[in-house]
Amino acid sequence: MQTILVTGGCGYIGAHTIVDLIENGFNVISVDNLSRATDKSLLGIEKITGKKVKNYTVDLTDKKATEEIFIENPGITGIIHFAAYKAVGESVELPLDYYENNLFSLVHLLQMSVKYHVKHFIFSSSCTVYGNPDTTRVTEATPLQTAASPYGATKQMGEVIVKDTAFTYPISAILLRYFNPVGAHPSTAIGELPIGRPQNLVPAITQTAIGKLPKMQVHGTDYDTRDGSCIRDYIHVCDIAHAHTLALQYSIKNNQEKSCEVFNLGTGNGITVLEAIQAFEKVSGVKLNYEIGPRRAGDIVAIYANNDKAVKQLGWNCKYGLDEMMLTAWQWEQSLAK
């Protein structure tokens, strides 16, 4: 049984990916300093899979503490690296925090990969690397524009760091650029649990619907889109999670054409913020209390994925539609209130 280190394993996408990895026969170790997550997700993982996952509460910007994980766990086959700060708006306010956390942690992990012969590295990238693209439906070959936020810049830099490392050392790397993960595991044992006021759309929707927030704000309806609100590619978190397992298997089977490959992970459908709200209201039967506010710094107008490459090379397909994304997110929010 091959051992995979998942960083940010207590976080939203990390926890769902751990479940998918276990269900596909991998042994998993987690590292998460719990600065942006809680360890409650470990109980949810155990409930779903029947497996207890060990988590190291280590800050990956601490190189010595990071190395201790590798010393204690010889024979790690691969790393899936999620651990990062990820709020676009916050990154505009705290750029140095984002550069320090997101880049130092990545460099330390890659140094450990080289030193301890970890051959497979999956990097959690983002559609923010495209900046404000010339086309709204982007492929992996779409030229990257200047990032619209420090968060996006850390993902652009991170991709370069991973690519350069894989070119020089015997590491097979995959960069997964995902779009807007939403929803929750159908069991409602794990889901998105932001600390503090949610920065992402769907948790803001569900928390408003259940009464945790008195109302939510739509950031701008004066964009050049069909209803004036931003367009995004919302994708179910379980579909995202499974793509990481497929990418790891693809790398292990030595199917990669290059030492570092890139894949878009999105549904290929652009949904406006107001359409997402309407979808939620339809599946939940709850009328949402929202107001129109000004544009938010760091937001781009519209972007969604061309996912042909992931479908063809990884054998990946999206199983969940928008209604299921909203329904599982709502069921998760309701489960938290019990």
* pLDDT tens sequence across 154-198: 999 999 999 999 999 999 999 999 999 999 999 999 999 988 888
Q: What is the pLDDT of residue 282?
A: 98
8-state DSSP, 128 = G
Distance CA 199, CA 86 (A): 9
Q: Which of 88-92, 96-100, 126-130 has the lowest mean pLDDT?
A: 88-92
CATH number at residue 74: 3.40.50.720
Can you tell me the mean pLDDT for 205-210? 97
β-bridge pairing 304-305 and 260-265: unpaired
Q: Is residue 330 part of a domain?
A: no
Q: What is the pLDDT of residue 326?
A: 98
Distance CA 32, CA 262 (A): 25
Find the domain containing 140 and state its range.
3-183+234-266
Write the single-letter amino acid at 254: N
Q: Is residue 179 part of a domain?
A: yes
| 8 A C-beta contact, residue 265 and residue 176 | yes
Q: Is residue 149 part of a domain?
A: yes
Spatial CA neighbour of 106 closest among 57, 54, 156, 141 = 156
pLDDT in tens, 6-38: 999 999 999 999 999 999 999 999 999 999 999
Number of domains making up the chain? 1
Which backbone phi and psi does 312 adopt, to 5 degrees? -75, -50
Distance CA 174, CA 186 (A): 28
What is the model's pTM? 0.95
| 8 A C-beta contact, residue 113 and residue 76 | no
Q: Is residue 7 part of a domain?
A: yes
Residues 6 or more apart whose Cβ sits within 8 Å of residue 46: 52, 53
Write the single-letter amino acid at 83: A
Helices then strands, each counted (H, E), the chain: 11, 15
Q: Is residue 151 part of a domain?
A: yes
Which backbone phi and psi does 290 adopt, to 5 degrees? -135, 160
Catalytic residue positions?
A: 151
